[in-house]
Chain A
Amino acid sequence: DAGITQSPRHKVTETGTPVTLRCHQTENHRYMYWYRQDPGHGLRLIHYSYGVKDTDKGEVSDGYSVSRSKTEDFLLTLESATSSQTSVYFCAISEEQHLREYFGPGTRLTVT
């Protein structure tokens, strides 16, 4: 496996609470991504980063923010969790932009 870890692996939280998911890599790859995966929708890009402090929005960015203060860490924050954000969240990394992405183990988030 590429050196990617995600924490926590499972989380249950209540509607309206903030939640932060962490992605950590040991590969020193420049590009990092956050996806969500839902039945019938496949993988959808939330946000991505092309360097420290450099981020951009994906197709489903509303309600999410990200930060990257170090090459190895990419944080995804749900500012006020809603039930529609119940999903499996995957972090991915790549050496080239949006090319040959390697995925972390995923975080299963349930918002009640």
Chain B
Amino acid sequence: QKEVEQNSGPLSVPEGAIASLNCTYSDRGSQSFFWYRQYSGKSPELIMSIYSNGDKEDGRFTAQLNKASQYVSLLIRDSQPSDSATYLCAVKKTSYDKVIFGPGTSLSVIP
């Protein structure tokens, strides 16, 4: 079992819809969770971080964390074509542990 798993996609949604990206992790002791966005040919960009169970909202983005079920998700409301990118989930166990990245989910928002 990989430490951090994501559906590779591509996930296609129409413009204006909600895009839902999911990530599961294997280490129950994980404490910090991150979502990065990576446009094709570009470097990853941190867009959300979440540390406690529940929802965290930032503009059109909402990160959801459920430690009991070991999953973290990213919702993008009112999806725009500019949201088309690969979204990387990253998980960290403790302050001194390294970040483990998932393989990423490719999102395509269709105008």
The answer to whether B97 touches A98, judged by C-beta atoms less than 8 angstroms apart, is: yes
The residues in B between 85 and 111 inclusive whose CB is less than 8 angstroms from any CB of A are 88, 92, 95-99, 101-104
Q: Measured between C-beta atoms, what is the minimum distance from B37 to chain A in Å? A: 11
CB of B45 within 8 Å of the partner chain: yes
The answer to whether B43 touches A90, judged by C-beta atoms less than 8 angstroms apart, is: yes
A-B contact count (CB 8 A): 44
| Chain B residue total in the interface (Cβ 8 A) | 19
CB of B49 within 8 Å of the partner chain: yes
Residues of A within 8 A of B42 (CB): 105-106
Q: Measured between C-beta atoms, what is the minimum distance from B105 to chain A in Å? A: 11
Residues of A within 8 A of B46 (CB): 100-102
The residues in A between 50 and 85 inclusive whose CB is less than 8 angstroms from any CB of B are 58-59
Given known contacts A100-B46, A103-B43, A106-B43, is B96 in contact with A43 (CB within 8 Å)? no
CB of B70 within 8 Å of the partner chain: no
In the bound complex, what is the Cα–Cα distance between A97 and B93 (angstroms)? 12
The answer to whether B102 touches A42, judged by C-beta atoms less than 8 angstroms apart, is: yes
In the bound complex, what is the Cα–Cα distance between A77 and B92 (angstroms)? 27
Seen from chain A, the residues whose Cβ lies within 8 Å of a Cβ on chain B are: 40-45, 48, 58-59, 90, 96-106
